[in-house]
Structure 1
Amino acid sequence: MDVHKLKEEVVAYSKEIGIDKIGFASVDVFEELKGRLKRHEALGYHSGFEKGSPDERSEPKLLMPEAQSIIAIALAYPSKLKDAPKNKRGDRRGVFARASWGQDYHDVLRDRLHKLGAFLKERMPDVEMKSMVDTGELSDRAVAERAGIGFSAKNSCIITPEFGSYVYLGEMLTNIPFEPDEPVEDGCGDCNICVDTCPTGALVQGGQLNAQRCIAFLTQTKDFLADEFRTKIGNRVYGCDTCQTVCPKNKKMDFHNHEEFEPDPEIVKPRLLPLLSVSNREFKEKFGPLSGSWRGKKPIQRNAILALGLYKEEAAVDELIRLMKQDPRPVIRGTAAYSLGKIGTDACYEAINEAMANETDDEVKAEMKKGLKFQKV
């Protein structure tokens, strides 16, 4: 088989099946990435969601010994929401990050990689492949950078010349010796807007992310949110887009190339109050198709409670009191008490004092005391 000709055929076929960009990379060890991962680990910058050791994440042949090349793909997603519902007093709304709009991107990219794999199998029956999307050991961004999909920017995203950083990434290890593509030249230059604008200072320096401070990570945690981040997350119920929306390279970037990624405004900008009482079944039916649902409803409800407190939304008081007194989950009870204190009506403080007399969980009691501290003497 003429590998050069096969590469041309793969590129042409990728366009037919809705892959916006494709590139090819070597399977050499990602030496710089390995060093960075080990430094991050030592500094405690990891989120804990990563799969594999630094060696596994940077040495493709550890994952597939017979690998000779990597195919990287990118699919663009929208950045603008059409007919976005208004967020107003009495009807407050949260927001899912753009990367969680529409159908779960893991499923969509796996579908494209599966079709690509089937195409290769037809031409080379003995081909060996291993595909990954986000949850695999390999760093999607490192592979995409090497394959010429885009450059690794200071906001820790891959920025493509065509679509900005609003792209999903996936890759496929193969035993076919495809010729690698040339990397894209770095385009950040002296610009430091994303680093300077990050609400929590998670971008330690250009391209280095402290995941423990990143709002996108924090919105996915299930425990009590640390005090310093409670006002920083705003009305985000899942993820954060700040470092992308402020990027000059993303100006006017808004692509609606894939029906699967088209968002339902009522789902990606959900009413906060109904979120507090949604059942598991209702949550799965409404939010299940989103990638942002993977941690379940608890983190999203906790974030919604914090947003209602930040807004001082008095329409939420009765529901927050119910949660504080009746919800079986300590994180929800305690966070409700904290937000009631932020809202700050007399009824809020009376309810906190009343609930504290019956509360047995020490962490929840601590949150109740935090809520009462907002009371003006």
Structure 2
Amino acid sequence: MNYSELKKDIISYSKSIGIDKIGFASSDPFIEMKNLLIRQQELGYQSGFEEKDIDKRTDPSLIFDGPRSIIAIALAYPSRMKDAPKGKKGERRGIFCRASWGIDYHVLVREKLDQLASYIDSKVPNSRFKLMVDTGELVDRAVAERAGIGWSGKNCSIITPEFGSYVYLGEMITNLPFEPDEPLHDQCGDCRLCLDVCPTGALVQGGQLNAQKCIAFQTQTKGFLGDEFRGKLGNRIYGCDTCQTVCPKNKGMDFHVHPNMEPDPEIAKPLLQPLLAISNRDFKEKFGTISGSWRGKKPIQRNAIVALAHFKEKSAVKDLIVVMRDDVRPVMRGTAAWALGKIGGPEAEEALLQAEKEEQEEEVLLEIKKGLEFFAVQDEAY
């Protein structure tokens, strides 16, 4: 088998099926990444969503019998929404990050990898593959960097010369000996915009992220949002794009080449108040096809409450009182209590005082107290 010619054929085929970039890498262990992950673990910087076994994350031979190369791919996604609805008083809107626009990217990238694997198998019968998109053992970013897809930016994203960092990544380990491509040189230079504007300082230094402080991670947690993050959330209800939108390498990057990635504006920028009472069935029907729904409705609803507090949306007070009084989930009741204090007004204060008498859960009572403290501060100001 002439693997050099096969590689050319694969590259040509990948373009014909809409893969925007492809690269080939060796299947050697990722020693540098292993050391980084060990350090991240020691510092408590991991999110907890990752594969726990660092060896499996960095040594392809532990998850695939006889690896000889890895093929990495990238699909470019849009950075701007056409006909984006604008929120206004009485009709405030939240926002899902760009990586959650359109159909779940795990599905889209997996489809391309499946097509690519089938094509290679037709050329080399009995070839073997292990396909991964985000939730696999290997670190997508490390594979993409080695395969020459892009360089690993200071914002911990892969940045491609052609599409900036607005790309979805996937890879397949193979038992075929393809010649590896050359990695790209780091092109971030002295720029540190992403580090300077990160809302929570989660980017500790170039290429190092404390996931526990990252807004994107925090929007996916299911418990109470830490006090230190509530004022940073804005109207984000899933994910955060700040470190990408400020990147000079992303200036002018906006690609609309995959129809399934186009956002439905009413899903990507939904009205906040209807989210407070949305049923599980309606949530799945409306949001079930996007990647931002993977944790269920609870984090989205909690974040919507925080966003309404951010806007000090008076029209939401009645809805928030219902949540505080009737929701069976302590996180929702407590977050609504805090939000009512943040928004303020006589109706909110009266409801909080009544809830203080009736609430039994200690953690909710603490949030009610926080809500009432906003009124105490206002009184002192006068």
| 1:57 and 2:57 matched | yes
Residue of structure 2 in register with 1:286 after alignment: 286
Q: How do 1:193-212 residues align onto structure 2 when only pairs under 5 Å count?
A: 193-212=193-212
Shift of 1:266: 0.9
Residue of structure 1 in register with 2:304 after alignment: 304
Distance 2:324 2:275 in 1: 15
Distance 1:169 1:257 in 2: 16
Distance 1:52 1:370 in 2: 36
Residue of structure 2 in register with 1:146 after alignment: 146
Residue of structure 2 in register with 1:240 after alignment: 240
Shift of 1:161: 0.3
Matched residue SS, 1:171? strand
Shift of 1:212: 0.1
Matched residue SS, 2:277? coil
Structure 1 residue ranges (4+ consecutive) displaced by more than 6 angstroms after TM superposition: none
Amino acid at match of 1:25: A
Aligned residues: 377
Amino acid at match of 2:30: F
Shift of 1:17: 0.8
Residue of structure 1 in register with 2:337 after alignment: 337
Residue of structure 2 in register with 1:83 after alignment: 83
Distance 2:104 2:52 in 1: 23
1:100-132 per-residue CA deviation (whole Å, 9 max, x = no partner) reads 000000000110000011111111111011000
| 1:173 and 2:134 matched | no
Residue of structure 2 in register with 1:323 after alignment: 323
1:169-204 per-residue CA deviation (whole Å, 9 max, x = no partner) reads 000000000000000110100000000000000000
Amino acid at match of 2:331: V
Distance 1:146 1:243 in 2: 22
Distance 1:354 1:215 in 2: 33
Amino acid at match of 2:266: E
| 1:21 and 2:21 matched | yes
Residue of structure 2 in register with 1:116 after alignment: 116
Matched residue SS, 1:237? strand
Matched residue SS, 1:212? helix
Amino acid at match of 1:215: I
Residue of structure 2 in register with 1:157 after alignment: 157
> Normalising to structure 1: TM-score of the pair?
0.99
Shift of 1:372: 0.3
1:199-237 per-residue CA deviation (whole Å, 9 max, x = no partner) reads 000000000000000000000000000001001011000
Distance 1:266 1:225 in 2: 25
Shift of 1:358: 1.1
Amino acid at match of 2:174: T
Distance 1:232 1:174 in 2: 43
Matched residue SS, 1:373? helix
Shift of 1:52: 3.7
Matched residue SS, 1:179? coil
Residue of structure 1 in register with 2:267 after alignment: 267
Shift of 1:240: 0.1
Distance 1:60 1:36 in 2: 17
Distance 1:299 1:136 in 2: 23
Amino acid at match of 1:232: K
Moved more, 59-68 or 193-202: 59-68
Matched residue SS, 2:221? coil
Amino acid at match of 1:279: S
Distance 1:252 1:299 in 2: 32
Amino acid at match of 2:304: A
Amino acid at match of 1:372: L
1:56-114 per-residue CA deviation (whole Å, 9 max, x = no partner) reads 11111111131100000000000001111111111100000000000000000110000
Shift of 1:362: 0.3
1:255-302 per-residue CA deviation (whole Å, 9 max, x = no partner) reads 001011000111100000011111101000100010000000000000
Structure 2 portions without partners, runs of 5+: none
Distance 1:58 1:67 in 2: 13
Residue of structure 1 in register with 2:96 after alignment: 96
Residue of structure 2 in register with 1:255 after alignment: 255
> What percent identity do the matched residue pairs reach?
64
Matched residue SS, 2:358? coil
Distance 2:374 2:88 in 1: 24
Residue of structure 1 in register with 2:4 after alignment: 4
Amino acid at match of 2:35: G
Residue of structure 2 in register with 1:364 after alignment: 364
Distance 2:233 2:243 in 1: 14
Distance 2:53 2:213 in 1: 21
Amino acid at match of 1:193: L
Distance 1:54 1:205 in 2: 22
Distance 2:89 2:42 in 1: 45
Distance 1:244 1:37 in 2: 22
Amino acid at match of 1:292: G
Amino acid at match of 2:178: F
Instruction: Quote the RMSD (CA, aligned, Å).
Output: 0.6
